[in-house]
Every structure is written in C-alpha cells, then in structure tokens.
Structure 1
Amino acid sequence: MARLSDDPAAESRDGFIAILNAGLPTKRVISQGLVRDEQGRVLLCELTYKQEWDLPGGVVEVGEAPSVGLVRELQEELGITVEVRRLLTVNWLPAWRGWDDACIFLFDLGVVDSDITDGMSLQPTEIKAVHWCDPADIRDRATGAAIELLEAVEAGSLPTYREAPKQAE
C-alpha cells in the first residue's frame, strides 16, 4: 500500500484510521422507494442497463445518508421530489450478473396520484419509462429480487432486515 508524503504517521490514530479506510472492504448501498398509486399499484422503472424493471432509487454516494440519497436519486432520475416516510426493510442482495453484493434500504414513499408520472422528467441515460404495476405485471417484468421483496411486502412478512435469495444469472 502506497503512502503520500503528507499522510499522517502510520502509528498515529489518524494514520491508523486512514490505513484501515484504504484497505477495508466497502459495500454498495442502494436506496429504493416503494410508491403506490390510489389503485394500489407499484411504481417500477424500466431501466436502460437491464431488461427487468425495478423500484425507483439508486446508489447512495459516499458520505450520504440512505434517505437523502433516495431523495436525490428520484430528483435526478425522475424529476420529482419525494418525502421519505419510514424505512420498511434493509435487504441484502447477493452478487448477481456481474454486480457485487449490496444492501438495499427500502423506504415507504406513500400513496400518490397516478398522474404524477405525467409530470416526470426521466433521465434518459438510466430510465426508459416508468410504469404502474399490479402483482401480475410485477411477476412478468420486475427483477427476481424485486418480485420476492414486493411479495414479502404484500404478505406482511417484512422483517427489519432480510437477505434476498440468490437469483438466477
């Protein structure tokens, strides 16, 4: 491991912390929001970088709180401002299709009028379209992890922390 001339001394507290921060594993953190319309349908995003649809949200930046990251991501990708109501669960995802494992914070974003999608400004590099989905649409279009997660939400069997099953590649 290389050190710079202005790094704190390795035997100092700051130096020790810097060495650990440089060498310890990092975990990707994703925040997603559960948005429902007045008919109980769930908002899913059709993404540019994978075939399956997924819940709105994205990767939390370094030093950013998961709830703040979700608000930022939905502003950037959908052009909407949301109010984070409560944390529904933390969902650990195993590695999948070349993506490293990650922790997803799923937040409740409440019930909105379905016409909210009419005013969305989609970020074209990431979002092709958004869709209000009933359970059949979710089973047909969503990622395996999102299907499993939303079925647990519907069944009322959502613990504070959960581990998603490994998905087929």
Structure 2
Amino acid sequence: MTNSQPRHGGDPTVFAHDLHDEGEPEAEFHPGIAARLPRKNVAAGVLLRDERGRVLFVCPTYKPFLEIPGGVLEDDESPLAACRREAREELGIECAVGRLLLIDWMPTHGVWGDSLQFIFDGGTLSREQVAAIQPDGDEVSRCEFLDLDAAKERLRPSMARRLTLAHHTLLHGGTAYAEFGRRPAR
C-alpha cells in the first residue's frame, strides 16, 4: 500500500498539526548519509484473549509456527496503525488495540535482519467478535485460542519468551523492554 501521508494510530487533526509544527525537514549536513544509515525491520502484534483468558493464535500459511495477529510495518506506518491494520486483514474484524505491553529487539538470524517487535494489548474479545473472525486464507489458514503454556511447544522459543513477558506486563502493568525475548541484565 503506497500512501504519501503517514499512517498512525492517533487523532489525524492533532497529528497533522504536530507535523506542521515540526517544520521543514533538516537538510543533510553530508549529502547521502541518510541513505547509508541502517534500516531495521519493525513488526507489531496484538495479544487478544477470549472470555476464558486464552490467547488468540493464528496459523500462518507460510511457516510452521504459531503467531499472534500482526505483521511488518509498511513504509511510513506507525506500529499502532500497523497492528490495527494487520489484525483487521488477518482476522476480518476490528479489535480495540490498546496499550503497548512490550518492545523486543530481535538479532539477525539467517537471512532475516535484526528487528523491533511491538506487542499491544487487544483486550478480551466478545463471543460475537470471536464468531465473526474470518481468517484471510492467504496468510492465515486458521485461528485458535490456547493457554500460553499449551501453545509454547508450537512457538519459536523467542516468541514463547516474548509472549510470556507481554502477558506478565498485561497482568502487572507497565511496558517491558526485552532483547530476544529476555529482559536485559541491569
């Protein structure tokens, strides 16, 4: 999706005003430096639960591990906007994406460069919302609600650690920072 305007999760009027107040972008002091700076992949996912507290997992068509609804940010898209878009695309429903639970840095692994992973709280879905879920079929073959412990054997180890931290943050408040699914040493 190409769009000349940034996509974000906030009030469009306030965002436009803030962007205007920022003024003209600064010129590069050394031309070409911006193009040489590293780029990170960024992804955002949402922790959705059913009335029994189980987590909603999607079964991707392109990999053997479970995931939570979400995906990679597009150019000029905020993590919150991407999380909402991806949940809508993958599940076919609108869900209330709330507070940020976790930011996790992932190292380079194989062909995949390092990345930042955001997890937001999606709250508890009503029975009507659960019944309305329609997996998109291209990226998601099906969805299932599982207790986090039961899902761990079907998750990448880093995702299991990340979701455990996100769930802990959900229950105890705050926002967590992690590296490869673990809180860094102090």
Give TM-score, length-normalised by structure 1.
0.80
* Residues 1:31 and 2:40 aligned together: no
Q: 1:85 aligns with which of 70, 78, 98?
A: 98
When structure 1 is superposed on structure 2, of 111-120 and 54-63 the one drifting more is: 111-120
C-alpha distance in 2, partners of 1:65/1:154? 22
In structure 2, the partner of 1:14 is 27
Question: Is residue 164 of structure 1 aligned with residue 180 of structure 2?
Answer: yes
What's the CA shift string for 1:58-89, capped at 9, x where partnerless?
A: 01111111101111111112111122210011
Range with greater deviation from structure 2 (132-141 or 150-159): 150-159
The match for 2:75 among 45, 50, 62 is: 62
Q: Structure 1: which amino acid aligns with 2:55?
A: V
Alignment TM-score, normalising by the size of structure 2 = 0.73
SS at structure 1 position matched to 2:90: helix
Runs of 4+, deviation exceeding 4 Å: 15-18, 154-159
Match of 1:162, as an amino acid? A
Does residue 66 of structure 2 align to residue 50 of structure 1?
no
Structural RMSD (CA): 2.3
The unaligned stretches of length 5 or more in structure 1 are 1-12
Aligned pair count? 154
State the 1:18 CA deviation: 6.4
Max radius of gyration: which structure?
1
- What SS does the corresponding residue of 2:32 show, helix, strand or coil? helix
Q: 1:79 to 1:24 in 2, by over 3 A?
A: same
